[in-house]
Structure 1
Amino acid sequence: MTLLSVNAGRAKSVGYTDSASGKTGIDKRPVDGPVRIGVPGPPGVGASGVAGDEVCDLRFHGGADRAVYAFAREDLDRWEEELGRPLPNGSFGENLTLSGLDVNGALIGERWRIGGDVVLEVTGGRIPCRTFQGHLEEQGFDARGWVRRFTRTEAGPGALLRVIEPGEVRAGDPVEVVHRPDHGVTVAFLHRAATTERGRLAETLVAAEWMESGLLALARQYADKYSG
């Protein structure tokens, strides 16, 4: 299991985002050399856990429990086949492009050590949005259509992560799973429950202590609504 690249993006104004600032940092490119991974600072542009990376829409990205976003190279390869075009590392707005790790099969609360210092904890999966669609320029789909297509693919949503132990990482670092909690809620299962199988959201609450805040609020809302 290997870290293929660390990717960062700078905020820029675009016409396809509905963020309050009209900017997005989704266009992420591989960064040379060691990159600092740490707990994000105060909310606002720059609230990523990756040094040099900027987050513009704090409704859905950034912050302590969405500090880093990881995607598997194997899943990017599947999308290359489906879309019929190359997708370099970082194309899906991921901070970490990984190889050999089942990112979507990871358990919520699972911890990964990258290199010698950094430990990250899985908190959820990406919910696709209009900005994602616009960035990919898949003009055959409106935002709603792209969300549906991405949600239903077997390639999976990728993993959101919080920083447990900060440090530096670089391309080529080994990745090791160092902890797996005692439940069965994976990134893929939580994603399906939050999108196409909402009747199963209450089941995800066994992983509540590790879940990112947005998905946790949704799961609790549905559990309260349908309890009893």
Structure 2
Amino acid sequence: MGELVSVNVAVPRHNPAKSTGTTGIDKRPVDGPVRLRRPGPKTTGLGSGVIGDAVYDVRHHGGDEQAVYAYAREDLDAWGAELGRELTGGMFGENLTTSGVDVNGARLGERWHVGDTVVLAVTVPRIPCDTFSHWMGEPGWTKRFTAKAVPGSYLSIVEEGEVQAGDTITVVDRPDHDVTIGLVFRALTLEPELLPLLLAADALPTDMREKIERRIG
């Protein structure tokens, strides 16, 4: 059983790294309960699954399969020690900062029960982009983040409801395969030889499955 350390929503920032001009990567913890709801399709829906949050690059972020982004407090602390700076909840653009949950070891399709009513399903890892690199302001950030292979996980919303800091997080269903968020990230970035292993997960998004099948022939 884990814990929700904070729920984080966007503070809009100018984004010189992309043509959208604005980014919601700067997320800050909020007090009190926050409602999670399914946002709909990526480009035509509501963007984020977190009410009060905002997605500006709707081509690459948001939508039902990327409704919520979770990152572990333990991994933030490890990065903070390496970088020599404090990393507050939401610093990596995550909506949910967790503790006691193996976010990167989570299997695709795994379900988390959060608080009283919310159920989330693990979907895909976060892939670093120019916006993230600019926001962090660290030399070679994309390369360093990729090499570490602790990307955090996007989640879809199975059951809607309210969550808040201090809520428990319980893994209530863990699929019978070994395709984890960490494995998917490594396969999509530096270790393409792992791509065939991803096909064992029924929860692998259809568009990703089709791209992998074309790539491996």
- TM-score, shorter chain, exceeding 0.5: yes
Shift of 1:10: 3.5
- Paired position in structure 1 for 2:141: 146
- Paired position in structure 1 for 2:125: 125
- Paired position in structure 2 for 1:40: 39
Letter in 1 for 2:184: L
Alignment deviations for residues 35-93 of structure 1 (CA, whole Å, 9 cap, x no partner): 00010146369510001000111232100000000000000000001100000111000
Q: Secondary structure at the match of 2:199?
A: helix
| Percentage of pairs with the same residue | 51
Letter in 2 for 1:12: R
In structure 2, C-alpha distance between the alignment counterparts of 1:46 and 1:80, rounded to whole Å: 32
Structure 2 residue 197 is the aligned partner of structure 1 residue 210: no
CA distance 1:225–1:21, shift in 2 (3 Å): closer
Shift of 1:222: 3.6
Q: Secondary structure at the match of 2:74?
A: helix
Letter in 2 for 1:199: E
2:70–2:154 contact (8 Å) kept in structure 1: yes
- Paired position in structure 2 for 1:78: 78
In structure 2, C-alpha distance between the alignment counterparts of 1:222 and 1:30, rounded to whole Å: 37
- Paired position in structure 2 for 1:164: 158
- Paired position in structure 2 for 1:220: 210
Shift of 1:212: 4.3
Structure 2 residue 10 is the aligned partner of structure 1 residue 9: yes
1:39–1:166 contact (8 Å) kept in structure 2: yes
Q: Secondary structure at the match of 2:154?
A: strand
1:10–1:52 contact (8 Å) kept in structure 2: no
In structure 2, C-alpha distance between the alignment counterparts of 1:117 and 1:11, rounded to whole Å: 29
- The size of the alignment, in residue pairs, is 215
Alignment deviations for residues 4-58 of structure 1 (CA, whole Å, 9 cap, x no partner): 000000333222x21x421110000001100000101463695100010001112
Q: TM-score, normalised by structure 1?
A: 0.89
Shift of 1:211: 2.9
1:175 maps to which of 155, 161, 169:
169
Q: Unmatched 5+ residue regions in structure 2? A: none
2:11–2:28 contact (8 Å) kept in structure 1: no
Letter in 2 for 1:146: W
Letter in 2 for 1:26: I
Q: TM-score, normalised by structure 2?
A: 0.93
Letter in 2 for 1:148: K
- Paired position in structure 1 for 2:87: 87
CA distance 1:86–1:225, shift in 2 (3 Å): closer
CA distance 1:7–1:61, shift in 2 (3 Å): same
CA distance 1:72–1:191, shift in 2 (3 Å): same
2:107–2:180 contact (8 Å) kept in structure 1: yes
1:196 maps to which of 180, 190, 194:
190
In structure 2, C-alpha distance between the alignment counterparts of 1:44 and 1:147, rounded to whole Å: 29
